[in-house]
Amino acid sequence: MNVNAILDKAIEGRRITFDEAVTLYRHAPLDALGHVAHRLRLRKTHPHVVTYLVDRNINYTNVCITNCQFCAFYRPPGHPEAYVRSFEDIGRRVEELRAWGGTRILMQGGHHPHLPLSWYVDLLTYLSDRYPDIEIDAFSPSEIDHIARLEGMSTRAVLERLIDAGLRGLPGGGAEILDDEIRSRISPKKQRTAGWLQVMREAQELGLATSATMVIGFGEEVEHRIRHLQRLRDLQDESLKRHGNGFTAFIPWTAQISEANSLGRSRFRHRYGADHAEYLRLVAVSRIFLDNFRHIQASWPTQGEAIARRALYFGADDFGSTMLEENVVSAASAYTAFKPRMSVEDIRRHIRMAGFTPAQRDTRYTIVSKESDASRTVVSGNR
Ligand code: SF4
């Protein structure tokens, strides 16, 4: 099938195949991809509204023994810059978020070799007792896998203990590229594809809010990227059919390659990273291929605000979150190293500049508050 026929098929609401997605990714003109993706997004979510979340990222530790090649955030045990935050320190950060009108924390950390499951349970209990109004989304499938291995438990049993202590969502971090050929090269000590998917499957069965992520720019081929999307689409089909609780959203971004990480120091550095056009192509193909996902998030932290606004015309319907602090991609010189937070008013302004009505949402994309449509203004040239 040629590019036009595949795009027509997508517009008609028919599911495209793996091979067709590869053809689109390789050969479709970027503007045509964006046009079709945007039409599909307008059908699937409120056409005038772009959502955002007021939240805070909190990294509870930077100690990690997994040494991913792309990571500039972690420090090995005993390193002078290694830290584990106290519960009181984390609590203070939650209080600052509350003062901002935030609704969620996203807590992630390295694979610490000595923190037992009881430490995580105590942390969640401490936070959920004190801040019952704040949603706690925390850890990632690879952290769950790490804790389970340390404790000699199943990942499901770990999730159950954490849910009992107040966990409400499992973010989709650590997916990078869900293909073992790539994972064994860039993160050989990290959980493999099947493990990531299995923890997500369990989290969804147990009722947690989950998101799916993807990071491109590790020298992977188009086929690796589409295989990643195929695996997400398959799990989404399975979960929606079995119990109705699938991924809330898909969140793609680009690898940050710099002198601060091993990939950036390698002699093959020129093979890594992805430019803005490549990012927009990914957003658009994702919207077309992931026909069972409702929400796609633009990434201002890795792309900057202008490209994030453009992504709203390539299939994205959500502007992401305020974050308040970002330490992981910033460590590798992402946009957030220079602009570590976005104020609520900044986010609303960017959404209005792109021609949409801003609406604050919670983790599950329920609208918390919305401006009136009348306040929408389109500023030409800023898309
Ligand atoms: S990406 Fe996560 S698991 Fe990998 S080294 Fe960094 S902190 Fe550790």
Crossing angle of helices 193-205 and 141-151, in 10° steps, is 90
Distance 237 CA to ligand 1 centre (A): 29
Distance 110 CA to ligand 1 centre (A): 5
Mutate to test the pocket of ligand 1, among 84, 139, 146, 190 (most ligand atoms within 8 A of CB): 190
Q: Alpha helices of 100-186 — where are they, by DSSP H?
A: 117-130, 141-151, 155-164, 180-186
Q: What is the pLDDT of residues 286-326, one digit of tens each?
A: 999 999 999 999 988 888 899 999 999 999 999 998 877 65
What pTM did the predictor assign?
A: 0.92
Tell me the pLDDT of the chain averaged across its residues. 91
How do 209-216 and 169-170 pair as beta strands?
parallel
**Range from 30-39, 122-131, 287-296, 372-381 carrying the lowest mean pLDDT:** 372-381
Distance 74 CA to ligand 1 centre (A): 6
Q: What is the pLDDT of residue 330?
A: 57
Distance 357 CA to ligand 1 centre (A): 36
pLDDT higher than threshold 50 for residue 169: yes
Q: Please give the sequence-ordered ranges of beta strands (E in DSSP) within 287-346, or none if there are none.
A: 295-296, 318-321
Just give the CATH number of 3-375: 3.20.20.70
The domain locations on the chain are 3-375
Q: What is the pLDDT of residue 197?
A: 98
Alpha-carbon distance of 36 to 315, in angstroms, equals: 8
State the first-to-last Cα distance of the chain, in angstroms, to the nearest integer. Answer: 32
pLDDT higher than threshold 90 for residue 195: yes
Mutate to test the pocket of ligand 1, among 73, 108, 185, 327 (most ligand atoms within 8 A of CB): 73
Distance 31 CA to ligand 1 centre (A): 35
The burial of 165, by beta-carbon neighbours within 10 Å (0-12 exposed, 13-18 middle, 19 or more buried), is given as buried
Q: How confident is the model over 329-347, as a mean pLDDT?
A: 68
Between 257 and 150, the more confident residue is 150
Q: What is the pLDDT of residue 124?
A: 98
pLDDT higher than threshold 70 for residue 383: no
The type of residue at 378 is: V
Q: What is the pLDDT of residues 133-168, one digit of tens each?
A: 999 999 999 999 999 999 999 999 999 999 999 999
pLDDT band (50, 70, 90) for residue 260: confident
Q: CA Rg, the chain, in Å?
A: 20
Distance 67 CA to ligand 1 centre (A): 6
Q: How confident is the model over 21-34, as a mean pLDDT?
A: 97
Ligand 1, atom 6: nearest CA belongs to which residue? 71
For residues 191, 192, 196, 202, the Cα torsion angle rounded to the nearest 10 degrees is -90
pLDDT band (50, 70, 90) for residue 327: low
Closest approach atom of ligand 1 to CA 73? 6
Residues in contact with ligand 1 by the CB-under-6-Å rule are 64, 66-68, 71, 73-74, 110-111, 142, 187, 190
Q: What is the pLDDT of residue 262?
A: 74
Between 381 and 310, the more confident residue is 310
Alpha-carbon distance of 76 to 111, in angstroms, equals: 10
Mutate to test the pocket of ligand 1, among 59, 64, 261 (most ligand atoms within 8 A of CB): 64
Q: How confident is the model over 272-292, as a mean pLDDT?
A: 94
Mutate to test the pocket of ligand 1, among 59, 60, 63, 68 (most ligand atoms within 8 A of CB): 68
Q: What is the pLDDT of residue 322?
A: 82
Q: What is the pLDDT of residue 258?
A: 72
256 contacts 329 by C-beta, under 8 angstroms:
yes
Q: Which two tokens stand for residue 90?
A: 């984390």
CA angle (335 as vertex; 331, 340 as ends), nearest 5: 75
- 25 three-state secondary structure: helix
**Range from 99-108, 117-126, 214-223 carrying the lowest mean pLDDT:** 99-108
The pLDDT > 70 percentage for the chain reads 92
Between 320 and 334, the more confident residue is 320
Q: What is the pLDDT of residues 215-238, one digit of tens each?
A: 999 999 999 999 999 999 999 999
The pLDDT > 90 percentage for the chain reads 80
Q: What is the pLDDT of residue 379?
A: 38
**Range from 40-49, 218-227, 331-340 carrying the lowest mean pLDDT:** 331-340
Ligand 1, atom 4: nearest CA belongs to which residue? 68
Distance 326 CA to ligand 1 centre (A): 14
Lookup result for tokens 């509350």: 98
Ligand 1, atom 2: nearest CA belongs to which residue? 110
Q: How confident is the model over 359-375, as a mean pLDDT?
A: 82
In 3D space, the residue among 190, 162, 155 whose CA is nearest the CA of residue 176 turns out to be 190
Distance 202 CA to ligand 1 centre (A): 22
Distance 65 CA to ligand 1 centre (A): 8
Q: How confident is the model over 344-354, as a mean pLDDT?
A: 94
CB atoms within 10 A of CB 76: 14
Closest approach atom of ligand 1 to CA 110? 7
pLDDT higher than threshold 80 for residue 382: no
pLDDT higher than threshold 90 for residue 264: no
